[in-house]
Amino acid sequence: MSADTIRIGIIGAGGNTRSRHIPGLKAQDGVELVAVANRSRESSERAAAEFDLGAAVDTWEEIMLDDEIDAVCIGTWPYMHAPLTIAALESGKHVLVEARMASNSLEAQAMLDTLKANPGLVGQVVPAPHSLGVDQTVIDKLSDGYVGELIAVEGFMASGSNFPEWDSPVHWRHDRDLSGNNIMTMGILYEAMMRWVGPAATVQALGQTVVKHRDNEDGRRIAMTIPDHVDILCRLEQGGQMRFAVSAVIGHAPAMLFTIYGTEGTIRIEGSSPDDMGISAGRKGDAGLAPVEITDEKRGGWRVEEEFINAIRGLEPVTHTDFYTGVRYMEWSDAVTRSLRTGELVNLPLDAN
């Protein structure tokens, strides 16, 4: 790799890659996007022409075998994240991989193990974005003892949800072969919660599939095997309980609402999108919750591509999100899936079961 130029190949120029990663990487000094591989040669050529991505190649293997490429940005569906990440790391390339990290925790652990076997390389998972602006303020208030001892955390996410749409088309997120054990926005919700209150020790879940079938592009009726409404109850490692509800089928519901209850105070985080998340809080004896100012110094934001390039150059570590965190949220996702199937309480980490 040139000291001045980092050459990147794009594998899977999907929606988030087009809207965030390509412009974000292009905005970094000394970065060149030199190749793209999509699911077909035609779509690769369209992406290369639209975004000036250098060469359109027939297969992702060509990017892995190109010694002039220093890093890859993987924007495929989750079922390909592990094989592509492992192949890239074994080819000596840094990896920025789209969320969700993998299809399941076994794949995620294999990705982490391969990164650990190549310590000179950088691996980063695209983070949950909705809480980035408020994370530092919430973390500081919790660290300062604002809520006292933690009693309960409640999280509700219905961003993009609506009443059941019976004629909605099949999406890759409805297909377990493509999405794995990821369910709606469940994993990124837990990722944000871990930033605030740490990991869960136990998981118990109840879910339902309200829209039980959809028609594919050929008009064939396809059974939906991934729930579209889930309730999850957890015991936290640091004490206290956590309750989540994630839905894609309820209407007139708040998009995102999170409340942290403690012995001395309460913090509420809510909004309709990552750009308008706000905080209110109150302590014992207050009349109620009051708005909390988020100073410019503490307000975070999207800087994924900048962090990735800086990590490659040794300027800062990956924090949003490293592979260790990705493995933890994939283990949690697996535990939710296991509990949904069996009705049992599942202990974390999974090797403790």
Q: Could you read off the pLDDT of 45-102 as tens digits, one per residue? A: 999 999 999 999 999 999 999 999 999 999 999 999 999 999 999 999 999 999 999 9
Q: Which helix (H) or strand (E) holds 256?
A: strand 256-262
Least confident of 254-258, 285-289, 321-325: 254-258
Contact 265, 276 (CB under 8 A): no
Residue 340 lies in a domain: yes
Co-location of 70 and 173 in the same domain: no
The three-state secondary structure class of 142 is: helix
Co-location of 187 and 119 in the same domain: no
Contact 300, 132 (CB under 8 A): yes
Co-location of 239 and 106 in the same domain: no
Work out whether the CA dihedral 341, 173, 131, 99 comes out positive or negative.
Answer: positive
Co-location of 54 and 197 in the same domain: no
Co-location of 316 and 343 in the same domain: no
Number of structural domains, the chain? Answer: 2
Co-location of 85 and 227 in the same domain: no
Co-location of 106 and 158 in the same domain: no
Whether pTM > 0.75 for this model: the answer is yes
145 φ, ψ (degrees, to nearest 5): 80, 20
The CATH code of the domain that includes 184 is 3.30.360.10
Co-location of 107 and 188 in the same domain: no
Residue 1 lies in a domain: no
Co-location of 286 and 311 in the same domain: no
Domain that holds residue 308: 6-128+303-321
Q: Could you read off the pLDDT of 187-238 as tens digits, one per residue? A: 888 999 999 999 999 999 999 999 999 998 888 999 999 999 999 999 999 9
Co-location of 80 and 173 in the same domain: no
Residue whose pair of structure tokens reads 């999100």 in the numeric block = 321
Q: What is the CA radius of gyration of the chain?
A: 21
Co-location of 148 and 37 in the same domain: no
Q: Could you read off the pLDDT of 142-194 as tens digits, one per residue? A: 999 999 999 999 999 997 888 999 998 999 999 999 999 999 988 888 999 99
Co-location of 234 and 286 in the same domain: yes
Residue 274 lies in a domain: yes
Residue 29 lies in a domain: yes
